[in-house]
Structure 1
Amino acid sequence: MRLARLLTCMLTGAAVAGTALVAPPAAAAAPSLCQSSDEDIYTAPQTITGDPGDLLACRQTSLPLIPGVKMKAWKIKYVSTDVRGDKIAVSGFVAIPDKAWTRGGSRPTVAFSPGTLGSGSQCALSKQMAGAQVDSYEAGNLRKFLEAGFAIAASDGVGYMNGQVHTYTVGLNAGHAILDAVRAARQIPGGSLTADGKVGLAGYSEGGFNTLWAAQLASSYAPELNVVGAAAGGVPGDLKLVAERLNGGPFAGFLADAVVGLSAAYPQMPFDELLNDRGRRAVQEVKSNCLFGTLGAFAFRKLEDFTTDRLTLPRIYALAGPDGTTWGEIIDAQKLGVGIGTPASGAPYKIGFPVLQYRGLLEEIIPHEAEDGTRRRYCQAGITTQWRLYVGEHLTTDWLAAGDVTDWLGDRFAGKRATGNC
């Protein structure tokens, strides 16, 4: 399918499903004080005004899962845009070390996207890091950034507002939300981040997917941000390859999250009518569980078991929506490294900064072909790409790479020249 059609189907998808039944008045000016309630932070306004990245609400908080680092932290709600270009509200958090930044220029910010945490509203990273721990495992990575003196602007991702569902593995939603979190971080009353601060993008697994989408969108969606590098590991860069591996396997819960998340982002596509009773119960399980609950509920289950006609993945890909766009085309539109190029190219997605990509040699969840293929497409596009391998499986590779990711971003913030090893 031609690139133009891929981009078109992404831009014509519908908005994230569901908002809270009771919502506050339309959002207006940015808050003058960070005194919003938790209920307000996680409730989407009925009408959203303002520009992408505008701060809608904030609340000072602590991050007890990151002990030993003196900092100021805030939960935030801000404006972003969905796959259709409509304004939406997204939650997240910002953390700024108390120790002064003394290495020249303004303090840099790491725009962070977490690995998969689950689709239930209680799974949001900002809630877990503030003490409502469920399945979060990213505290060590975040601590390294803060100990290095970097600020953090972390997006929960689209769909963690009350009454919504996380739009897992939807590239435009994810990339927009990450970039807008940086914009919002600079508007916090009492915050100290400035518009000239350098920005690094970082994430692993789902967060790596989200990070590379933010990298691909940065020059067109947020050209005012000085993004100097993106570090992404364990990247599920080709969802069809990943789905084939996950279906019926021990980690089929990730596929369940993706199916429900994609249906939330593209509600015009066939979905509810395909489900049998078991499938309808499965959707509710996805919406209510975090990571390990979902993995336990769907281990070794096949997608076919949840549909009335025992639909296989190829048959699902062939199903079309009202405008003729198929599920296969929508899935292909999430593929990373398609339509990318250097700033001098005519590519739709221009990347003018280096990228670090990495994976584990013992990776057991994402096919090597999906990760290696993403790296290959970046290299072929002329993007300066550093590629690293770690002696770990999926989760431990996230931790094994944390120090190197921090150092690599630190070099980018210091203005050091990056080298690739394509």
Structure 2
Amino acid sequence: MRGRRALGPLLAGVLAGAALVVPVTTADAAPPTAAACAASDADIYRPPASVTGIPGSVIACKATELPHVPGSVPLHAWKVQYSSKDNAGAPVAVSGTVVVPDAAWKGTGSRPAVAFNPGTLGLGPQCAFSKQLSGAFQDEYEGDNIAALLKAGYAVAATDGAGYLDGQTHPYVSGVDAGHALLDVVRAASAVPGSGVAKSAPVGLWGYSEGGAASLWAAQLASSYAPELKVVGDASGGVPGDLKVVAQGLDGGAFAGFLADAVIGLAASHPAMPFDELLDSTGRSAVAKAKSLCLVGTIATFAGQKLENYTEQRLSLDQIYALTGTDGKTWGQVVHEQKLGTGIGRKNSGARYEIGFPVLQYRGMLEEVIPTSTEDATRRAYCNAGITTQWKLYPGDHLLTDQQAKDDVVKWLGDRFAGRPELGSCLLP
């Protein structure tokens, strides 16, 4: 779920490890350097035999080039494999990219860092954002986003999200998995030898579509999971806040591929739930196909398909929600647990998820992928919880809104880094 330039022609048709690295934090004044990061690509994407160390520890790193980030900002970049935790609290390894401008930070204090989560890329291992940035790049919009952050002087820690290591499945739309991975990649940024990113750096969170859900989950989890991070704001656009509402809108529609990925991702992240045994032969083939595709192929392959077409008993969404896993939870409960804006409150409120910094949420007025009712409901939930929330609308559809919002988001994050006040727009209709 996201906007990207590579989708343009398709949408038009549809709608008409071995190399261990010891964590090191360098001084702010130290220039970026590629020293001590000598892992191979294979090391970055090979799952370690076991994951040790605290979340955000660097397991392996590799200096890399970013030929598909536009502009001419001199920079140093590293692919990283780092430690995180899944939704059950078990240690996992995750891949990502850390990028730092070569120019010295000219603002006050430490150079700010932005934890960035891309939108939907697809489940295929080749779709990992770190691979696309350094190789067969397909998402020019989010390359623009990273370029804009670098031009502003900020370090960028971009997660691939869990599940892009060899032989794994990305836990697509699993909120806690996504939030942990995003918070831990910015922890890892300061542990990359020579990055110059300080542990004390002010941190911004940013994502759109799948990435918007991930960054909002990171905002909800930050105070309990990563209290040492100095998060000053979160920008989340195109947020699929309630997956039941989103699924109803996707099933049988032009963008049913997002639903296919979501079911596969939640089954991977919640292994107690029934899944394989529900599928017929067509469903098993469809799952294997989805796990090999990036976004464009996923949308083209599954357009118009209903989930029931892949199950032995032709199960509807409501029938699937009623099914129980070996842990006693129903599928409906698992999906509901991914809903954003529940159990939230201000700092020191005693809420399950305390948020002590401003949030920017945005969407397109011509949104056609995610039901706008759920995006609007997430914003209202944040306002009702007393969280300072800025709300912006853009004239584009899902494809265009991320690009339209880019400069505003970078400026908004810059205001947060500079300590400027944000009053929000919750009193506006």
- The TM-score with structure 1 as length reference comes to 0.93
**Which residue number corresponds to residue 40 of structure 1?**
43
**Which residue number corresponds to residue 60 of structure 1?**
63
Match of 2:77 among 73, 78, 82: 73
**Which residue number corresponds to residue 351 of structure 2?**
347
What are the residue-to-residue correspondences of 1:48-197 with 2, within 5 Å? 48-67=51-70, 68-135=72-139, 137-197=141-201
The DSSP-based 3-state class of the residue aligned with 2:323 is coil
Residues 18-77 of structure 1, C-alpha deviation per residue, up to 9 Å, x if partnerless?
Answer: xxxxx659x684488100000010011111111100000000001111131110000000
1:249 & 1:218 partners in 2: Cα distance? Answer: 35
CA contact (8 A) 1:135 1:292 kept: no
Residues 209-242 of structure 1, C-alpha deviation per residue, up to 9 Å, x if partnerless?
Answer: 0000000000000000000000000000000000
Larger mean Cα displacement after TM superposition, 27-36 or 356-365: 27-36
**Which residue number corresponds to residue 311 of structure 2?**
307
Match of 1:380 among 367, 384, 389: 384
The DSSP-based 3-state class of the residue aligned with 2:291 is helix
The DSSP-based 3-state class of the residue aligned with 1:288 is coil
CA contact (8 A) 1:28 1:50 kept: no
1:225 & 1:250 partners in 2: Cα distance? Answer: 40
Larger mean Cα displacement after TM superposition, 377-386 or 30-39: 30-39
2:177 & 2:309 partners in 1: Cα distance? Answer: 29
Q: Do residues 418 (structure 1) and 427 (structure 2) align?
A: no
CA contact (8 A) 1:357 1:386 kept: yes
1:319 & 1:376 partners in 2: Cα distance? Answer: 31
What are the residue-to-residue correspondences of 1:229-248 with 2, within 5 Å? 229-248=233-252
Deviation at 1:381? Answer: 0.4
1:416 & 1:237 partners in 2: Cα distance? Answer: 28
**Which residue number corresponds to residue 285 of structure 2?**
281
Q: Do residues 400 (structure 1) and 404 (structure 2) align?
A: yes
Matched residue type, 2:230: N
Q: How many residues align?
A: 399
The DSSP-based 3-state class of the residue aligned with 1:138 is helix
The DSSP-based 3-state class of the residue aligned with 1:111 is strand
CA contact (8 A) 1:28 1:49 kept: no
2:325 & 2:268 partners in 1: Cα distance? Answer: 14
**Which residue number corresponds to residue 360 of structure 1?**
364
Deviation at 1:196? Answer: 1.3
1:412 & 1:200 partners in 2: Cα distance? Answer: 8
The DSSP-based 3-state class of the residue aligned with 2:191 is coil
1:122 & 1:136 partners in 2: Cα distance? Answer: 17
Matched residue type, 2:360: L
**Which residue number corresponds to residue 9 of structure 2?**
none
1:269 & 1:24 partners in 2: Cα distance? Answer: 33
The DSSP-based 3-state class of the residue aligned with 2:327 is coil
Matched residue type, 1:50: G
1:395 & 1:164 partners in 2: Cα distance? Answer: 28
1:176 & 1:82 partners in 2: Cα distance? Answer: 7
Larger mean Cα displacement after TM superposition, 364-373 or 131-140: 131-140
Deviation at 1:133? Answer: 2.0
Larger mean Cα displacement after TM superposition, 373-382 or 124-133: 124-133
Deviation at 1:134? Answer: 4.0
Residues 152-201 of structure 1, C-alpha deviation per residue, up to 9 Å, x if partnerless?
Answer: 00000010000001100001100000000011100111110111110000
Identity across matched positions, percent: 59
Runs of 4+ in 1 over 3 A off after TM superposition: 27-32, 134-137
CA contact (8 A) 1:179 1:218 kept: yes
CA contact (8 A) 2:21 2:60 kept: no
- The TM-score with structure 2 as length reference comes to 0.91
1:43 & 1:168 partners in 2: Cα distance? Answer: 20
1:168 & 1:136 partners in 2: Cα distance? Answer: 21
CA contact (8 A) 2:63 2:77 kept: yes
Residues 61-96 of structure 1, C-alpha deviation per residue, up to 9 Å, x if partnerless?
Answer: 011111311100000000000011010000000000
Deviation at 1:136? Answer: 5.8
CA contact (8 A) 1:71 1:96 kept: yes
CA contact (8 A) 1:365 1:394 kept: yes
Deviation at 1:316? Answer: 0.3
Gaps of 5+ in 1: 1-22
The DSSP-based 3-state class of the residue aligned with 1:418 is coil
Deviation at 1:282? Answer: 0.5
Match of 1:331 among 318, 322, 335: 335
The DSSP-based 3-state class of the residue aligned with 2:38 is coil
1:80 & 1:267 partners in 2: Cα distance? Answer: 18
Matched residue type, 1:204: Y
Deviation at 1:148? Answer: 0.5
2:170 & 2:97 partners in 1: Cα distance? Answer: 17
What are the residue-to-residue correspondences of 1:196-207 with 2, within 5 Å? 196-207=200-211
